[in-house]
Amino acid sequence: MGKTKVIVGLGSCGVAAGAGKVYEKIKALKDAENLDFELGKTSCVGMCYREPLVEIIDDSGNFLYGDIDGDKAVELINKHVNNNNPVKEYVVVTDLYDTPDRKYLDGQVKIALRNCGMIDPEKIGDYESRDGYAAVRKIVENKIPPENVIKEVMDSGLRGRGGGGFPTGLKWNFANKNQSGKKYIICNADEGDPGAFMDRSLLEGDPHSVLEGMIIAGYAVKANEGIIYCRAEYPLALKRLAIAIEQAEENGYLGDNIFGLKGFDFRIIIKEGAGAFVCGEETALIASVEGKRGMPRKRPPFPAESGLWKMPSNINNVETLANIPWIINNGASSYAKYGTENSKGTKVFALAGKINHGGLVEVPMGITIKDVIFKLGGGIPGGKRFKAVQLGGPSGGCIPEYLSDTIVDFDSVTATGAIMGSGGMVVMDETTCMVDVAKFFLDFTGKESCGKCTFCRIGTKRMLEILTRITEGEGEKEDVEKLEELASQIIDSSLCGLGQTAPNPVLTTLKYFRDEYEAHISQKKCPSLTCKKLLTYEVNRDNCTGCTVCAKNCPVDAIEGERKEVHFIKQDICIRCGVCYNKCKFEAITLS
């Protein structure tokens, strides 16, 4: 095979976990001892729960090591690289034998993420070695008409992976048929929810696949200019995009007469966004690109008819575009064999929350939510009970445990009251208060409202006020009806998807966890023991030894009692901070 390769995962998740220091440690050791191995970089493998990750490839096989720090990195070089002795206790995945973490990868089908963790994203040659830009070449050399390219995308069944799930080929067809003036291809890389972690990781790990998808879209709709709208908070993604664009230009994949086809001109520029969540909506994004405040407008006209600078524009998100080259190279039927009747292909999810294996997974449509959480995600930490999953980003809905056999496809997820969105999947366990969850997400969407629609601007605030009252023990029976009424008005009166979906967390928690709302309102209790103002700390007389630790640590002197005598908590002074509960070694403080 040749020289041993040592590859460090340097996506944002890895860097945040210390992978940069690991890389520098290995590099310093290599240089100091003049070691004969190839040191390389890649991006996010998806196994964020195991970062930092180091892969060693030699004649004996591939070894992916996890939870590596500087000392472990030195050990890997000394034992594995220098003495051909793999360090088994650090191995996460290898092609030589089975490991517990193997399940995280075995249930996945990687199409959009096919190159992430497999290539150095800053080297165009790595992308080309894995069929990079072969799809564009195939189109040009076989003289495939734009309409046939669109038909291939339509036949694949690919639907937009950014939110509404509109058929991608149909959207392209609208833009293709509009012959008025200049046209634009816009990549939406600005979605500001947990699923945006997926977009960022794709841009960091495989930027050329997005560029190639945009080039193919440009060919299909007869556009010659592309714009990537990416939030400025993604510095690594922006850096690698800029490198990829420069390399693509130098290699003739961007510019004039691509692959020698006269008139096939396409260029891409980057537009940095300010990170407003509402700019994930197409018309708000367009306004921002034009230098205006990011606010949606009425549709029609749709962007395919009148978009950027009032010219026909096609907008797809990062994941959607990353699928395109694979579909062209492998055929529509190869993509359509995955999934269900109305939801073809795969979907990338960002697993977060109360889950053992947090990170990125790409699964075939049709898999159950339960399998994603337990087979790939490794279940719930600490053996706690799975309670619900919030699917679709901040404006998605909460799906309860008893619906965990729901399959992942657009129709099935929507039927629960959630949305597919851009792929955020936040897992909750028995310690999660669903009223508090609804309040958390509504606080986010309310702050992100652009303010154009009255019901979105004001209604979300009023809903948040009601939820806050409920979690503080001041809720009234009429509040549930008020929440439902406001939610209906916001949905019906909002221009864009933000307002139309903002009430989802509230409506789904009311639908599936109404008993928790009733407990907060009628009993002034939080069943999950989460809402601070509804908690009561008391001393268990049978367990109290009078050690005085609780009294000494109470910040407001709410605990009284002599040494070696039973203490008591003055409820009118207690601020429910929980210090006594955490400090007591004898389980003498109870929480209810």
Say if residue 196's pLDDT is above 90. no
Q: Where would I find the H helices in 341-493?
A: 369-371, 410-416, 434-448, 454, 460-471, 478-493
- In percent, the amount of the chain with pLDDT more than 70 equals 99
Q: Which pLDDT does position 232 carry in this prediction?
A: 86
Let me know if 1 is exposed, middle or buried by CB neighbors in 10 A (0-12, 13-18, 19+): exposed
In the chain the domains, ranked by start, together with CATH numbers, are 5-100 (3.40.30.10), 124-335 (3.40.50.11540), 346-429 (3.10.20.600), 434-523 (1.20.1440.230), 535-591 (3.30.70.20)
Strand order in the sheet with 359-364: 359-364, 346-353, 424-429, 386-391, 397-400
Q: Where would I find the H helices in 146-206?
A: 146-156, 168-177, 196-205
Q: In terms of Cα–Cα distance, which of 138, 117, 108 is closest to 64?
A: 117
Mean pLDDT in residue range 326-349: 96
Q: Which pLDDT does position 278 carry in this prediction?
A: 86
Mean pLDDT in residue range 336-363: 95
Q: In terms of Cα–Cα distance, which of 567, 574, 479, 566 is closest to 521?
A: 479
Mean pLDDT score of the chain: 93
C-alpha dist (Å) from residue 172 to 224, 282, 459, 514:
14, 15, 36, 43
Q: Is the peptide bond before 100 cis (omega within 30 degrees of 0)?
A: no
Q: Name the DSSP letter for residue 366.
A: T
pLDDT digits (tens, 9 = 90+) for 389-409: 999 888 889 999 999 999 999
pLDDT digits (tens, 9 = 90+) for 114-170: 999 999 999 999 999 999 999 999 999 999 999 999 999 999 999 998 777 899 999
Q: Which pLDDT does position 393 carry in this prediction?
A: 83
The span from the CA of 513 to the CA of 482, in Å, is 17
The span from the CA of 426 to the CA of 532, in Å, is 22
The span from the CA of 113 to the CA of 524, in Å, is 47
Q: Which pLDDT does position 192 carry in this prediction?
A: 53
Say if residue 194's pLDDT is above 50. no
How many other CB atoms sit within 10 Å of the CB of residue 578? Answer: 13
pLDDT digits (tens, 9 = 90+) for 520-547: 999 999 999 999 899 999 999 999 999 9
If you write DSSP's letter for every residue of 549-567 in order, what string do you get? HHHHH-TT--EE--TTS--
